[in-house]
Amino acid sequence: MLILNKKDLEELLPMEEVLDVLAMGFREVKEGRCVVPVRFHLTVEEYQGQFLFMPAFLPGLKQSGTKIVSVFPKNTSKGKPTIYATYLLSDPTTGELLAIIEGATLTGIRTGGASGLATRYLARKNAKVLGIIGTGFQSFFQVRAIQAVRPIEEVRAYDFDQKRLEDFCQRMSPFIKVYPATNPSEAVRRSDILVTSTTSKTPVFSGKDLKPGAHINAIGAFRPDMREADDETILRAMIVVDTYEGCLSEAGDLLIPMSEGKLKKEAIHGDLGDLVTGRKKGRRSDEEITFFKSVGFAMEDVVTAHRAYEKAIREGKGQRIEIY
């Protein structure tokens, strides 16, 4: 059995390859060759946290595995990451455990990859300014993925936590021009592409600030009582989801306006699999505002984990152990 850590994954998973395996995975989903239950939540109310269990089986690709994730927003006050995760990659023909993989980095890479894939179909071709609201762990991977599909020249970033914002700007500055914003509006008004990556329960920006032709990747809110986008944004935008099943179960950005009678399910243009397979078109004009809502999908983990495992075996990376 193989153990792959953060450094291994960063070396094994260039973003261009991640986009390719995710596109392959979404095609499998659209063709009905994917078994992915809606993830199971275990709430730990005493510490305001959650555990999430995300299994997946792709029979056509002979891939299977389960991710175990913890999301504890108050960890930031303790100097710890909000998210911890571990991925268990298995052989679906025998049940054998093939690898234990550091799951937070895997999650960051595949979540960035999903946004990059959506951006490929939904953002304007000449989008050059990327806005980031919420500069925590996920933000770095979002920038990497979007840079892989669009000619990004600068990043406008905002976070209510000044220290976190400063750390992000310092980390990114060797790779791209980064400008800290003093408020969300300052970042949004300049952005061709906007990423929201927060755990907020209330909208984090005003839809009135969006430029014509802006594209939004809303990746942070992952529960029915959480939202990052306001009604103005949702009602102005062409909406694409990672999966209908996941978003119609968990995405407060959509479920809250639906419960208030402001949005109908039929208003959702399609899912990412529709775009990848060409069943539906992405952006229809340079003026259109597009909105990608992602709550995470276990297929993304298994195809990304499997690519890392295959390359690690081939290149002799990772740590081998015996537990049976």
Catalytic residues: 67
Distance from C-alpha of 143 to C-alpha of 190, rounded to nearest angstrom = 16
Written as six digits, the tokens of 83 are: 């998210």
Please check whether residue 132 is in contact with residue 187, taking contact to mean a CB–CB distance below 8 angstroms.
yes
Q: How far is CA 196 from CA 119, 215, 219, 316, in A?
A: 14, 11, 6, 37
Backbone angles phi, psi at 42, to 5 degrees: -120, 110
Give 170-177's long-range contacts (Cβ < 8 A, gap of 24+): 171/140, 172/140, 172/143, 175/143, 176/143, 176/147, 176/152, 177/153
Q: Is 250 exposed, middle or buried (0-12, 13-18, 19+ CB in 10 A)?
A: buried
Please check whether residue 234 is in contact with residue 216, taking contact to mean a CB–CB distance below 8 angstroms.
no
Range list of H helices, 184-278? 184-190, 231-236, 244-250, 252-259, 272-277
Distance from C-alpha of 129 to C-alpha of 269, rounded to nearest angstrom = 25
Written as six digits, the tokens of 11 are: 């070396």
Of 208, 212, 247, whose CA–CA distance to 227 is shortest? Answer: 247
Range list of H helices, 137-271? 137-147, 162-172, 184-190, 231-236, 244-250, 252-259
